[in-house]
Amino acid sequence: MKKVFVKSYGCQMNAYDAERMADALAPEGFGETTAMDEADLIILNTCHIREKAAEKVYSELGRVRALKRERERDGRATTVVVAGCVAQAEGQEIIRRAPVVDVVVGPQSYHRLPELLHRAEARRGVVNTEFPVEDKFGHLPAASPAKTRSRGVSAFLTVQEGCDKFCTFCVVPYTRGAEASRLVVRIVEEAKRLADAGVREITLIGQNVNAYHGEGPDGTTWSLGRLLHRLAEIPGLARLRYTTSHPRDMDDALIAAHRDLPALMPYLHLPVQAGSDRILAAMNRRHTADTYRRIIDKVRAACPDIALSSDFIVGFPGETDADFLDTMSLIEDVRFASAFSFKYSPRPGTPAAELEDQVPEETKAERLARLQKRLEAHRQAFNRGTVGRTVDVLLEKPGRHPGQLAGKSPYLQAVHLQAEGLSVGDVVPVRITGAGTNSLSGEIERMTAPASAAA
C-alpha cells in the first residue's frame, strides 16, 4: 500500500480538509502515515493568515526536497503537493520557486486531487486554484466507519466556506473565496454517518459559520440556529458546537438555540478583534464595541453560564494608546473564558497592508504582552470558578496515568480524571476538584441512591 503524509497548518477548516484529502486518496490505494520519511505522497496543507506564511512553506519545501533526494537514492519516488491558502495565494509561483513540487491545489479543488495526481505523472507542475461552483465535499468519498471512529469521538463538520465580509486585515475572502453554504441534507447525512460511527460531538465549522444560509429540504433557506435544531435530533450525538462566528451574524434564532437546545454546548467563540470603534471601523468589522457588548448581554441572558472566547489583533495601523485602552476595558467588561490574540501582521494584497501609519513592532509586542496578561488572568479565574461544581465531561482519550481518561467540559476545558470502568465516548458527571494551568482535575460524581429507595 502507498502512503500519504499530510502536514496541516492553521485553522480547524484545514484540519478537516486534511482528513477529507486523505479520504479522497484512500480509494487510490493510499494509507495514512504520521512519518514524512516513509510517505510516497507528501501534502503540505498550508495557512496564509499570519506572518511569513509563504516563507515558512518554502523553507519546509527545502527539507522535503532533501528527503525526496534521499528516497530517490533508495529507489523510492515521492510526489509533493502544496494545498491550502498559500497554494491559493501563490499558485504557479510555488512551482517556479520550488521545482520539487508536483501539484499545487487550492482549497476548493480537493475533490480533484486524484485526477491532478494522475496528470502530474505525465507532466510535473500541475496547478489548480479555481473556485469551482460544485460542493467539493459532496464529491469526496466518505471515510469508513472504522476510520472515522479512529479519528476520535469529537469531529469537525464544515457547513460553510469562504467569507464576504472583507475585514481590511484578512486574506480569507481572497484565498477561500465567496461565502457558500452546504445543503442541509448533505450536512445531516454527514452528521448521521459520523454519529453511526460512534462520534459523540460535532463542531460545525466555517470561516463565518453563523453566516450559514443553506437550502433546506423544504426549499427554504435555513439559518445556523435552525440547522442546529435539526442536528440535535440525531440519535447518538450528545454535543454540538460551532466556530468561528462573526458578531454581525449572531441572530436571535442562534442565541435562542443556546437557551433551548441542551445538546448545544455553552461555549461561544465570537471574535471582536478590538475595543475601539475607530479601529473597528478601519478594520471594516461593521460593528462597534457597544453592539458587541449588547450581543454578549443577550447571549448571557439566554445562557447565563456560557463561556465566551474571542480573537484580538493589537497594533492595527493607526492604533493609539487610547484605542488600545478601549480594548483593555472591553475585556474587563466581558471577562472571556479563553482568547487568541495576535500582533497585526500586514498581509500582501489586503487594504490594511497599504495604510501608512503602521505601528512599530515593539509597541505591538508591548501591547500584546499587556493584553495577554489580563486575558490569562481571566481564563484562570474562569477555570477556578468551575472548581467545586459538577459538570458533564465527554471522555475523549486515555489520560497521562494508568486508569485515567481525559475529556472536555461543556466549556471546552480539558479535564483529567480516574475513570475505571468508563470508556472513551461516555459523557459522565464529574465534580471538578482542581484547576491547573492548562487543565482541570475531577472525580466521577457517583450517584447516591435517595434514602427512600434504599429502604
Contact 353, 400 (CB under 8 A): no
Please give the radius of gyration of the chain, using alpha carbons only, rounded to the nearest integer.
Answer: 23
Residues that bind ligand SAM (CB under 6 A): 11, 49-50, 169-170, 172, 207-208, 244, 246, 271, 273, 311, 313, 342, 344-345, 347
Q: Is the distance from CB of 43 to CB of 22 less than 8 angstroms?
A: no
Nearer to ligand SAM, 270 or 432 (CB): 270
Kindly state the cell numbers that stand for 417: 480524571
- Partner whose binding site includes residue 166, from ligand SAM, ligand SF4, none (CB under 5 to 8 Å by kind): ligand SF4
Residues 186-215 that bind ligand SF4 (CB under 6 A): 207-208
409 closest CA partner among 311, 296, 243, 267: 267
Beta carbons of 418 and 441 less than 8 angstroms apart: no
Residue 347 interaction partner, one of ligand SF4, ligand SAM, none, beta carbon < 5-8 Å per kind:
ligand SAM
In the sheet that 201-205 helps form, which strands lie side by side, from edge to edge? 154-158, 201-205, 239-243
Which one of ligand SF4, ligand SAM, none is in contact with 345 (Cβ closer than 5 to 8 A by kind)?
ligand SAM
Cα–Cα dist 210/214, whole Å: 11
Query: Among residues 41, 80, 127, 172, which is the contact residue for ligand SF4, using CB under 6 A?
Result: 172
Residue in the structure block whose three cell numbers are 469526496: 140
Q: Determine if 347 is a binding residue for ligand SF4 (CB under 6 A).
A: no
192's grid cell: 448521521
State which of positions 124-163 bind ligand SF4 (CB under 6 A). 163
d(Cα 201, Cα 154) in Å, to the nearest integer?
5
Which residue, 50 or 193, has its beta carbon nearer to ligand SAM?
50
Which range touches ligand SF4 (CB under 6 A), out of 168-176, 301-309, 371-379, 404-412? 168-176
Q: From the list 200, 241, 246, 379, which residue makes contact with ligand SF4 (rule: CB under 6 A)?
A: 246
Smallest gap from Cβ 340 to ligand SAM, in A, equals: 7
Least gap, CB of 371 to ligand SF4 (angstroms)? 18
DSSP assignment string, 69-99:
HHHHHTT---EEEEEHHHHHHHTHHHHHH-T
Least separation in angstroms between residue 407's CB and ligand SF4 is 30
| Nearer of residues 196 and 311 to ligand SAM, judged by Cβ | 311
Distance CA 439, CA 441 (A): 7
Q: Out of ligand SF4, ligand SAM, none, which partner does residue 173 contact, by CB within 5 to 8 A per kind?
A: ligand SF4
Contacts for 269 with CB less than 8 Å, ≥ 6 apart: 243, 244, 245, 309, 310, 311
Among 167, 406, 417, 435, binds ligand SF4 (CB under 6 A): 167
- Which does residue 194 bind out of ligand SAM, ligand SF4, none, counting CB within 5 to 8 angstroms by kind? none
Nearest distance in Å: CB 64, ligand SAM: 25
The minimum distance between CB 314 and ligand SF4, in angstroms, equals 15
CA-based nearest residue to 210, from 168, 257, 177: 257
Q: Which residues bind to ligand SF4, rule: CB under 6 A?
A: 163, 165-167, 170, 172-173, 207-208, 246
